[in-house]
Chain A
């Protein structure tokens, strides 16, 4: 095989989901022995493209050539047979099986009749793990391994399938620094052995460290493509962001620097293995953005501030108006005036089979009950209707079931529910995730209004747009710690991306 031969060549790939055009004519090539980085903001189309290459989706239009011949994949196992192996972002191992069993799952060495050569399997596993410096016994049960080792085992498994093309989707997001080094070395050595590698990563410094070529995607299109030596990190960031985005900044009249005491203080809040000594203050009427990459601890931060993470693993101090909030006690947090809007609307937020009235009034039921516990239905409906009008919820009526509503309107119902508790601090985890553009704008207006009324808002989000247009201050997280605090004019896309992708600017561009 010549070192520069093109293994996989996609031309004009188009893919739509319902009305959304996820890919609009994408050209993408993977060359043997080279690592191609694939970067872009969330929703740019990276994962759709990789899923098409991995055989999970068929393309609507366009051709995929493998070694020069056009192919159509019949499914994930078909692509696998043809040598295209994917390492998915979430850890894809059977938790109850051992490392060796996972490494050779469905690929076990046998003596015929499906009888497994156990010793050979054990030895091969040991060799494979040793080759990639993975310090784990082949007999260890996967569920008992720390996350970083699980990820390394997952990569080793992919490699053992002897791929021609290896797709790595955010392979380092759950790894520690030391593990990242090993993983990157492994990627380089695989490329040198002739494998064509696609590396999807938000960590731009890693991209610049190991990639030979780079493809930048935005809005379902390739906006930059070429050898990585011919570009720079700032150029890549501006290609990802695009220049045509108009951002309306909100009025920054509410300043965090006035003399009032903070509404909430968080001191050295840590959750074992997830959050490292988080400290910040929040003033009344302030919108404090918290952002970072997936896996940097955003979810954990939202939960820990609210007091919903397990108290045994949590340390640190959260106070509201100077009163400490006990960890791991959501009712106490609610009573102290903290509300948490979770990011997983369907599983942890809305009750789909409940009416809007029951959804909205759930946390404040005692308010509607008389001494015998009988509820005042009329007052509940009035409360719900007031919220429906105020938040512009599009619904047939207060007795509609929550599942009949669109995602955006469900989200507004959740806002209504928490606003009824009259929170002083409102923690929102990805409040606009998975909802349509119109509802997004409305929800941003609602957030603005709540802040104007003096509520302190912790806005956990990965949407740059939201951070830039809504926040007075932005904290950037990286691997469980706050690495940057941006205020006022410093809150801009490039700065946020830089900080999220690996800390300080000087470190981000390797020589």
Chain B
């Protein structure tokens, strides 16, 4: 509402182009940082762009990817959820407990399928349940979501210790481990010239990238998330509520209900990530997901989602996650002490917030 022009002329096409460039500034910036990082990584270690390393990296960032999808939704609605890491941990713990401690060791083979199904599906309800609770407190008692989810964070962490008794749960059943650790599909990526020049075979022109199965879970999450946000009335309502709650309510949108749904969605993605991490690691550690929340928020912000809600694109969060994961990987490759990791992540979070302020100034929005 601070427009100062009162002209009724249509804006010129060059103006429109400039506008489009300004709007996609955050995307250009994120992609720029990503390319820069990749170059840096490749220089630091020439094996970085090898199929096996890329495949491993993708597997490692899957948990963060899944949670970032839900975090994007809740942040577009104008709220936060800092409990996601703890919910990942609690869901993993519940899955581990159901699969290992609840299921008797000598379960008959025909019953095992059934137990596994319970062990995978029931933990998926943990996040939505916590989400309803947090959403109700935030919307009905008008308490900032940061504080409310700080509360649910501590509760979920504590429950995780109760469920696991503070001990790791090893020996997750084989079918689940087989899925989580398998790479059943190879994806052809074009142009691995070294192989082609050696053999001359057409198949060697491609770099065959083995994709960990869990990565497909993230792909499905982002496909659904994109469709939900960009193509459905629910998505429009999420953007509207996050951008201007009053306008949304005057349009007849039940803003509180939309926010509660968003809390359930982010909770669901955290639970899903918890189950995925169980299947990937084949075990549950009581501190699964610790510190994940801030890395995820940083990733989402780097992807261009506004801290104040109403703006953001879910697919861009993928770029943010990759940037965070690569930074961590870079520290390993560069043989920097592990103690510096928190410092690096903190720097990235601050840089992300500063970049958001810069983006706002460049795109001229309030």
Contact = CB atoms under 8 A, between A and B. Distances in A.
A316 B237 CA distance: 45
Contacts of A101: 236, 239
Contact of A97 (B1, B23, B239, B250): B239
A77 B248 CA distance: 11
A105 B234 contact: no
Interface centre among B10, B19, B233 (most CB of A within 10 A): B233
A179 B8 CA distance: 8
A80 B252 contact: yes
Interface stretch (A25-33, A145-153, A466-474): A145-153
Interface stretch (A107-115, A364-372, A384-392, A498-506): A107-115
> For the side of the interface on B, what is the size category?
20 to 34
A259 interface: no
B142 interface: no
Contact of B250 (A88, A113, A118, A148): A88
Interface string B206-247: 000000000000000000000000011110110110011011
B233 A114 contact: yes
A95 B244 contact: yes
Given A146-B5, A148-B6, A105 B240 contact: yes
Given A105-B240, A179-B8, A91 B310 contact: no
B197 interface: no
Contacts of B237: 106
Contacts of B249: 76-77
Interface in A107-128: 107-108, 110, 113-116, 118
Contacts of B239: 94, 96-97, 101
Contacts of B8: 135, 146, 148-149, 176, 178-179
Given A143-B365, A146-B7, A96 B251 contact: no
A361 interface: no
B253 interface: yes
Given A97-B243, A146-B7, A146-B8, A106 B23 contact: no
A145 B3 contact: yes
Interface in B16-45: 19, 23
B250 A95 contact: no
A419 interface: no
B3 A94 contact: no
B6 A273 contact: yes
Please report whether the interface of chain A is mostly helix, strand, loop or mixed according to DSSP.
loop
A56 to B, nearest CB: 9
Contact of A272 (B1, B4, B233, B253): B4
B316 to A, nearest CB: 15
A107 B253 CA distance: 10
B253 A105 contact: yes
A92 interface: yes
Contacts of B19: 141, 144
A21 interface: no
Contacts of A77: 249, 252
A114 B5 CA distance: 37
A382 B44 CA distance: 68
A403 interface: no
A421 B252 CA distance: 50
Contacts of A141: 19, 23
Given A273-B5, A274-B4, A116 B253 contact: no
A252 interface: no
Closest 7 CB pairs of A and B: A273-B4, A77-B252, A114-B232, A114-B233, A96-B243, A106-B251, A94-B243
Interface of A: 76-77, 80-81, 86, 88, 90-97, 101, 105-108, 110, 113-116, 118, 135-136, 141, 143-150, 176, 178-179, 271-274, 313
20 contacts: A76-B249, A90-B1, A92-B247, A93-B247, A94-B244, A94-B248, A95-B365, A95-B366, A97-B239, A97-B243, A105-B248, A108-B236, A115-B232, A116-B231, A141-B19, A143-B365, A144-B3, A146-B3, A273-B4, A273-B6
Given A96-B311, A97-B240, A110-B232, 11 more contacts: A92-B247, A95-B366, A105-B240, A114-B232, A115-B231, A136-B10, A143-B365, A146-B8, A150-B3, A273-B5, A273-B6
